[in-house]
Structures are given as structure tokens and as C-alpha cells.
Structure 1
Amino acid sequence: MKIDGFRGQLITADHADYETARAIWNGTVDRRPRLIARCSGTADVAAAVRFARDHDLEITVRGGGHNVAGTAVCDDGIVIDLSAMRAVWVDRAGGTARVQGGALWGDVDHETQAHGLATTGGIVSHTGVAGVTLGGGIGFLMRKHGLVVDNLLAAEVVTAEGSIVRASADDHPDLFWALRGGGGNFGVVTSFRFALHPLGPTVMAGPVFWAADDTADVLGFYRDFAADAPDELGTVVRLGTVPPLPGIPEDQHWRPAIAVNCCYAGAVEDGERAVRALRGFGRPLVDLLAPSPYVAFQSGIDATVLHGWHYRWKSTNLADLSDETIAVIADHAYAAGSPRSCVVMFHFGGAVVRVPHEATAYAGRDVAHNIVIEGVWLPDESGEHAAAETAWARRFLQALQPHRSGGVYVNFLDFDDDTSRVREAYGDHTYRRLAEVKAKYDPDNTFHHNKNIRPG
């Protein structure tokens, strides 16, 4: 098979690399594309899009391949694979970075921290830059520096026609607005330009764990602690078991526990003061909150979400952490069958809420917290855990229904979430506006293997 104007690697089912190339982060996804076009640059992406259109092939786009729904790969179509396009160029004087579409957040952190700079990114270093960004982008730095999309300055995009355009506030501003939260609906983003901010290289960061029996008390304390926290303090709550990570005593491994993971985007001494009350609350099982290299912190939980494990997620936004909501969380969080299953809760506010709603397509700015219920099991446990973990996640989400604020983070939607949840992620007004942009740049819905917005 040959693609005119393509200089990258073409991988078909008879290729030695085919099985590896079609595998993505979520091991439950087992799809067999007809062709994987591993691109070497933007020109290859454009050539692959034109080839797919000419041959009526289904198109998926792989950046980091990390989306839980498995949208990066399809059966019997073409995967436009950006995984070889991982370069990051830092303009220290200008305070920006240009990042190729196949880069991972670990690539960005590695290069930017060499200059004492960073931008909001995912909380796992092997998460793909493209997927996180296009959905909105939440992470530890968002309360101080905004969402990932609030730091996006420009993007290079290959459209459904195979044309190459630049999207920014001045060039194709409608497309630029839609890219900042509207997902992969509008084209293939081959590079991003981000604003950077001084940070690190050492930050006050890490988790504090308490026993599962203390969950209601910890969440009650955390509710007030988080509400009063400075913008510099980003926190993520995790409920499940204590993972067997470096620095955690072996006798605590796999013990049911709640953790509050922190990162202070400022001076270490200021961070120490900001987390003092949290560290002093109750009787922690393990306290790993300490000065840490930012790069090491950003990759600290990588081993708890490995490639090839099986994942099923359910997610929603929460109105608040009322006593009733806390009771539901405490009652359901530890009922999973797999010790790798967990619940993760993100705290918003700060810079996120101060950006005008109309500025980007990301619609969840007024959310207090987002919760994602993660069923996780190993490939050889599929018979034992697949149905049980999926059922647990669904029951948990159903129990949270009375406490939802409406809306969901589009990047947390799984493959069995129906299309109504995509509209829920944006609300009617933003969804209609996105559909109009879709009709302009992709009227035939060429890019539909995603959390799809139909042209309107």
C-alpha cells in the first residue's frame, strides 16, 4: 500500500509492528485497523487525510492513545498516528512552547522544566498532549494558571479536506475557539503553542493518606480546606487502596484509603504553610507531601495506570461536597472488587472560573468538583472483574445523580456513554455553536471517531 506524498511508516496487519502499533492505553479496546499511518510530520498527516477521503476509509487519530474510550483506533479503517511526532521546542525569552501533536505530558514537562517553566498539564506523564488539550485540560496548575486551553495560543490543524491551517485569536478564530474544549471534531492538530509560567524545579507536592474508615471526616475537612485554599494550591482526592509506590511502607500496600494529593505552584516555603493544616488533620497513614522535583511529581502515579490494563470509567460534575454527597462517596468508593479500581476527584475554582464562559468551548468552569469512577483490572482478570467493576462504576454514578451539578468532562466519557452525554458536557448553547463550526470545517463529519459533534 502506498500514499502519495507520505514519508512516514505504513503499518498493515502483516507488519511485524502491527500488534504493538494498534495497542492503546486501555487494554479493553481491541480493534484492528486496515492501515496505521505513522506520520513523520504535518505533510504526512495531510497526505493521510486525503488518502483516507479518496478511498472512503474510516479515520481515527492517535496522539497519545490515552483516551479511555479508545477513540484512537478503529476497525478496518486508517489510524493517523502521530506517536512519532513528539518534539517540544521552548522559547524561553517568549515564555512559550511549541509541542507536536504526538507528544506526551512528560515530554513537555521534561523540556519546559529545564528552563524553570511549566504549563497546566495532565496528572499522568504518559497522557497525550493532544487529547488532554482538546477536551479542555485539567491538572494541578489549573487553579493558578487556568486550564490547558486557557494557555493555548495557537494550533496547526489539518482539516477534513487535507488543508493545513493555523488557528489562533487572529487566524480562523472560530476554529480556535472550538479546539479549546470541543475535542477532536474539527481536524488533526499537528502542533500546539502554549504559554509557559515560572515554576520549580522544586515544588511542595505529594499525597497524604488516611484510612478508609476516616473518609467522611477527611472529606468534611477537605471541603472547607479546599474552599479556602490559595489559587497556587492544586489538589486531587483519590479513594481506593494505597498503591505500592516508592516511599510507601510495604505493610500499607493495598490498604483501603483516601488520599489528598497536592501541588503548590509557588515557593516551597509558602507551600509548606498552605498544606500545614491538611498534614495535621487526623492520623495519616502515610505522608509523602514534601519538596519534590516537579517532573518527578508529575510522573509519580504513572505506575498506577499502566498501559494495557483494562479500564472502565464513569464521571460527572458535582454541585458541592455536601454531607449527603460525602456519605454517598464514602459508601460506594471502597465497594469495588479490584484493588486497582479507584475514585478520583478534582477541585476547580481559582483561575478556571475567572475566564469568561464564551472565551472557549470548555463549558464546566463553574464546577466545584469533578469526580471520575475508575474500574481497573488486569488483562488476565477479565473474567473475574470486567462485569463487576463496570457494574460498580455504574451503581456509583447512579447514586450520585441527586448530587450532580449537571455536565461532565468530555475527556472522561467512556465508549458506552451515549451521545446525550456529549451534549451534556457542553450544554445546549455551546453545543449548537460547536455544531456550526463543525459544519464549516468538517461538513461530512469525516472526523467522527471521537465524542462526536454532528455538523449543524
Structure 2
Amino acid sequence: MGSAQDVYALLKEQLKGGKTQVLLPGDGEKYEESIKRWSKHCEKRAACVVKVASAADASTTVKFVKEHKIPFVVRGGGHSTSGSASIEDGLIIDLSLMRDVTVDVEKKTIRAEGGTLWVDVDEEAAKYGLATVGGTVNHTGVGGLTLGGGYGYLTGRYGLTVDNLLDVEVVLASGEQVVASETENPDLFWAIRGAGQNFGVVTAFTFQGHPQTNPVFAGPLIFLPDKLPQVVGFLNTFHSKNDGDQAMLLGFTCPPPANAPVILTQLFYNGTHEEGTSFFQPLLDIGPVANMTSMLPYEKLNACMNEGQGFGGRKMFGGGAYKLPLAPVFVQAIFDEFIWFCTSQPDMTESLLLFETVPYKEVVKVPNEKMAFSNRGEYYNLATMMKWADPALDERVREFSRALLKRASQAAGVQQDEDVRSAEGVGVYGNYVNTDVSANELYGKNAKKLEELKKKYDPENLFDRGTRLVPRPVVVVN
């Protein structure tokens, strides 16, 4: 292989004539923008960024990196905090130019290209009175959320994002472009739904749409810390009261400008203002210091938590699980420990811990064996979104988040130790963990089948940036 400059000049030549952009470190602001990520600690200086404009150009690029043995990653929305969408010195296949969304009104389906954000899907589908299960922040990439499972406000009624996925268009490690669905390449479709980044570049997704013409009742309530026992009391009743058209997020944070600890709740009711306020009235009666709930179009719902979730700063997700009811004394202990850590470190007060009470009735109707995604059980997701500025704190933040979530998950009734893990699901949401977790931790009994399919579809482990599905080579030292 010649010099890197010569190699990428050859790639530029192969991709010329279309809208695809090949960016190198000397290309100024365009290059600098292309390596920016939602979390600053995931930003790395790639040797080349290929902003593909078509599946054909994605295929050409995959064949090229394979031929020239160039390490690479795939970037969709750039939200991953595992670092799997960034690379030092290698190549990035960047899908951000592929953001077209088309709706088939007759079939009620929504096709979204691989670089779309949820705002693209929400707004286009709304033009036709439709919606599908998306995330809770609308500048998140469709690809990452979907391939890792996808929980959203409509999960209580329609299941996970991945449960609403009808087919995908994929560029395989061979460069071949294929469609995967229940009837076409069904084993690949099984693997894509939960472990997608290990199997190819997904250049388009087709989702089942659902009628959503009415506005929804939603928004945050903010409480002072002394109201925590009463708020937890309401959360415990939510478990039995909801019918799938509601959701409630309970969070702890110290938002600016005061940087003082507060209890944040994000409410959702897919119905009228009267129905929403009636359902959440006991919570409203506790006495929030701020009530920002209102009626809003569904396509605006996933923007409710955008503030404070923008690009910039160092960020990391962490994931665990919990069951209801929760003991107020247990939640108080978690609150105290989390707030203490965040206020004792510089620039960490915007960090967030969330008890994500999204109804799981529809989720558990699908067996864990149905697809690679294995986090189905009668429990809810517990998440941290740590935010800080000092690189020297990276490891300390990571260790704190992991330890807190593990203790909280075990104390809240969901075991995560490998030898005692619940048979109903792994208790770990893949979109909230780093790629250093084992395949068994993330996929449970599905790990073995994934290993076999990895050998079939990507025998050289070209797509090696996700959770490792095949054993590492054994190095013999004499």
C-alpha cells in the first residue's frame, strides 16, 4: 500500500462524479465539522471521512477499506458515547448526507435513510398523520437507536423501535447490497435487530407507522428534593395504573444557573389535556416548583428534552435496570450519592440520572429469542448521562457510573452478575453501555447464534467496533 495520501486520492477518484465527499485533515472547517461528536471525549482525528451520499458509494467504500486493510467506523447521528463512531487515523463512513424520509400512505410505512435523525422522521411522518416509536431526544440518529433496540414514548402502545422495523437495506462486509426482513435474509434481519453495527452499514430502514393525528399531553415538572418520597410514591402507582398510553421519566440533576439539586419528571399522556392532568393529578398535587406541561403535536414531543442535551462537553451513558415498587429510602440513597458526586467534581452539575418508567407490556410480548436484542423483561431502564469537561476525570466518572448502576440494579431487583442474571432478559440496554461489555452480558443466550452469524456474514470481522461477537485471537508468548 502506498502513502495514506495516495490511497485516499485513489478513493476520491473512485467516488468522483456524485455528491459523496471525501474529507482529509487538511480540508479545513469541513473536515473539523465532520469529526465533531455529541460527546467531546469521543472526538478523534480520522485520516479520512467519507460522507457517502448513496448506498452504492457506501458499498464502494466498504470494498475499498477491505482491499486496503484500512480500519474504519460508521457514523450515523454521532450520538454514541462508546466511541464506536470515531476513529484515530482510520476512516469514517459518514451517513449524514443520507437523510431522506419517504412515507407510503397506503401501507402506513416510513422509509428513512441511514443518516436520518429522529426529527426528520417525526416531522415527515406527521405530515401524513403517522408516527413510529422514536427516541426521547430528536437530534439522535435513527440508525444507532434502532439497531440497539429503541425505547420511546410510544413503546407502551407499540413496543420497541426495533419491533416496528419491517426491513433494512444493508451493505455487507463483501460490499454486497442486500435487503433483510422476516422473509428475505431472515437470519441477517434477526442479527441486525440488536447487533446491527456488527454486520454492515445500514443505509435505509423501513418502519411500521401508526396513526397519530391528535396532540399529546407532555412536559416536565420540577420538584425540590424534599418531595422525593411523595414523587416515588406516585411512581409506584404508575406501574399498575398505566394502560400503555403514558410514560414517566424521573430524574436527578443540578441544572444551571443555580446548579442546585432538583427532581425532574418528564410526563407523557397520549390523549387530551383533561385525561393527562387527571392521570397525573396526584403528582401535580405534590407541588412542583415548575410545571411546563402542555398539549403539543407529537412531532414536537421528542424535542422536549433537547435543552441540556446538545453537542459539546464530555458525556457518557451508563445503563442498568430496576423494578417497581421502589422503596423511597433506596431512591433517596441513590439521589444523595449521585448529587454528591456531581457537585463535588468540576463542571458536572448537568449530569442526569433517570428512572425511565416506560411501560413494558408490549415489549415483553416479544420473546428474547425473536431477535438479537435481549433486554426484555418485567423491569425498566435505569440510566446515567454523565457530563463533564476535564479529561482527567474520564476514568473516575466511568467507574462511578458503573458502580452506582450495578449496585442500584441489584438492589432494585434486577441482577446483572453473569451467573445469576434473570432468565427473562439481560437487564442491560445496549444503547447505554460501552463496547467493552461481553457478548454474553449484552445478548445472553443469543450470543452463541450471533457468533455463528458473524462468521457467516463478516468472517474477517471487518465490522469490529461494536460489542465483540467472536473471540479475540489467542496470542501465544514463548
- Pair member with larger Rg: 2
The corresponding residue for 2:137 is 124
Deviation at 1:398, TM superposition (A): 4.6
Whole-Å separation in 2 of the counterparts to 1:33 and 1:103: 22
The corresponding residue for 1:436 is 452
Is residue 410–residue 451 contact of structure 1 (8 Å, CA) maintained in 2?
Answer: no
Residues 25-44 of structure 1: pairs in structure 2 closer than 5 A: 25-44=38-57
The corresponding residue for 1:135 is 148
Whole-Å separation in 2 of the counterparts to 1:328 and 1:432: 38
Whole-Å separation in 2 of the counterparts to 1:311 and 1:371: 17
Whole-Å separation in 2 of the counterparts to 1:297 and 1:143: 15
The corresponding residue for 2:360 is 349
What are the superposed Cα offsets for residues 253-273 of structure 1, whole Å, 9 maximum, x if unpaired?
543111221222344543343
Deviation at 1:432, TM superposition (A): 1.1
Q: Does 1:292 align with 2:309?
A: no
User: Residues 169 and 387 of structure 1: is their aligned pair in 2 closer, same or farther, counting only changes over 3 Å?
Assistant: closer
Q: Does 1:426 align with 2:443?
A: yes
User: What amino acid sits opposite 2:128 in the alignment?
Assistant: H
The corresponding residue for 2:428 is 408
The corresponding residue for 2:386 is 375
Deviation at 1:367, TM superposition (A): 4.0
What are the superposed Cα offsets for residues 202-243 of structure 1, whole Å, 9 maximum, x if unpaired?
211111121122223311321222332110112222211346
The corresponding residue for 2:25 is 13
Aligned with 2:77: secondary structure? coil
User: Residues 75 and 382 of structure 1: is their aligned pair in 2 closer, same or farther, counting only changes over 3 Å?
Assistant: closer
Is residue 134–residue 152 contact of structure 2 (8 Å, CA) maintained in 1?
Answer: yes
Is residue 322–residue 409 contact of structure 2 (8 Å, CA) maintained in 1?
Answer: no
Is residue 203–residue 293 contact of structure 1 (8 Å, CA) maintained in 2?
Answer: yes
Whole-Å separation in 2 of the counterparts to 1:341 and 1:20: 25
| Residue range with higher mean Cα deviation, 192-201 or 102-111 | 192-201
The corresponding residue for 2:317 is 313
Whole-Å separation in 1 of the counterparts to 2:384 and 2:304: 20
User: What amino acid sits opposite 2:199 in the alignment?
Assistant: F
Is residue 216–residue 330 contact of structure 1 (8 Å, CA) maintained in 2?
Answer: no
User: What amino acid sits opposite 2:367 in the alignment?
Assistant: P
Deviation at 1:278, TM superposition (A): 2.6
Aligned with 2:448: secondary structure? helix
Q: Does 1:2 align with 2:10?
A: yes
Equivalences, count? 440
| Residue range with higher mean Cα deviation, 432-441 or 325-334 | 325-334
The corresponding residue for 2:422 is none
The corresponding residue for 1:247 is none
User: What amino acid sits opposite 1:356 in the alignment?
Assistant: P
| Residue range with higher mean Cα deviation, 103-112 or 355-364 | 355-364
Aligned with 2:92: secondary structure? strand
Whole-Å separation in 1 of the counterparts to 2:264 and 2:241: 19
Q: Does 1:399 align with 2:407?
A: yes
The corresponding residue for 1:331 is 336
Aligned with 1:28: secondary structure? helix
User: What amino acid sits opposite 1:344 in the alignment?
Assistant: L
The corresponding residue for 2:254 is 241
* Structure 1 segments unaligned to the other structure (5+ residues): 245-252
User: Residues 321 and 239 of structure 1: is their aligned pair in 2 closer, same or farther, counting only changes over 3 Å?
Assistant: farther
Q: 2:466 aligns with which of 425, 432, 450?
A: 450
What are the superposed Cα offsets for residues 5-31 of structure 1, whole Å, 9 maximum, x if unpaired?
563110111112211111111101231
Aligned with 1:304: secondary structure? coil
Deviation at 1:387, TM superposition (A): 5.9
Whole-Å separation in 1 of the counterparts to 2:323 and 2:282: 25
The corresponding residue for 2:419 is none
Residues 25-424 of structure 1: pairs in structure 2 closer than 5 A: 25-242=38-255, 254-280=259-285, 282-323=286-327, 325-335=330-340, 336-337=342-343, 338-347=348-357, 348-378=359-389, 381-382=390-391, 386=394, 389-400=397-408, 402-403=410-411, 404-406=414-416, 407-414=427-434, 418-420=436-438, 422-424=439-441
Is residue 214–residue 271 contact of structure 2 (8 Å, CA) maintained in 1?
Answer: no
TM-score (norm 2): 0.87
Aligned with 1:182: secondary structure? helix
Identity of paired residues, percent?
33
Whole-Å separation in 1 of the counterparts to 2:367 and 2:131: 23
RMSD: 2.1
| Residue range with higher mean Cα deviation, 345-354 or 9-18 | 345-354
User: What amino acid sits opposite 2:78 in the alignment?
Assistant: G
Is residue 318–residue 367 contact of structure 1 (8 Å, CA) maintained in 2?
Answer: no
| Residue range with higher mean Cα deviation, 391-400 or 299-308 | 391-400
Aligned with 2:387: secondary structure? strand
Structure 1 stretches of at least 4 aligned residues deviating more than 6 Å after TM superposition = none
| Residue range with higher mean Cα deviation, 179-188 or 263-272 | 263-272
What are the superposed Cα offsets for residues 71-96 of structure 1, whole Å, 9 maximum, x if unpaired?
11111211111000011001122111
User: What amino acid sits opposite 2:401 in the alignment?
Assistant: A
Deviation at 1:368, TM superposition (A): 1.5
User: Residues 424 and 216 of structure 1: is their aligned pair in 2 closer, same or farther, counting only changes over 3 Å?
Assistant: farther
Whole-Å separation in 2 of the counterparts to 1:201 and 1:304: 28
User: What amino acid sits opposite 2:470 in the alignment?
Assistant: R
Whole-Å separation in 1 of the counterparts to 2:459 and 2:115: 25
Whole-Å separation in 1 of the counterparts to 2:469 and 2:330: 32
| Residue range with higher mean Cα deviation, 296-305 or 185-194 | 296-305
User: Residues 442 and 367 of structure 1: is their aligned pair in 2 closer, same or farther, counting only changes over 3 Å?
Assistant: farther
User: Residues 387 and 296 of structure 1: is their aligned pair in 2 closer, same or farther, counting only changes over 3 Å?
Assistant: same
Is residue 382–residue 405 contact of structure 2 (8 Å, CA) maintained in 1?
Answer: no
What are the superposed Cα offsets for residues 300-319 of structure 1, whole Å, 9 maximum, x if unpaired?
22121111221123221224
Is residue 239–residue 324 contact of structure 2 (8 Å, CA) maintained in 1?
Answer: no
What are the superposed Cα offsets for residues 23-54 of structure 1, whole Å, 9 maximum, x if unpaired?
11110123121111110110010000000000
The corresponding residue for 1:250 is none
Whole-Å separation in 1 of the counterparts to 2:56 and 2:273: 44
Is residue 118–residue 197 contact of structure 1 (8 Å, CA) maintained in 2?
Answer: yes
What are the superposed Cα offsets for residues 107-162 of structure 1, whole Å, 9 maximum, x if unpaired?
11111112221111111111000000000001111111110001000000000000
User: What amino acid sits opposite 1:304 in the alignment?
Assistant: G
Aligned with 2:441: secondary structure? helix
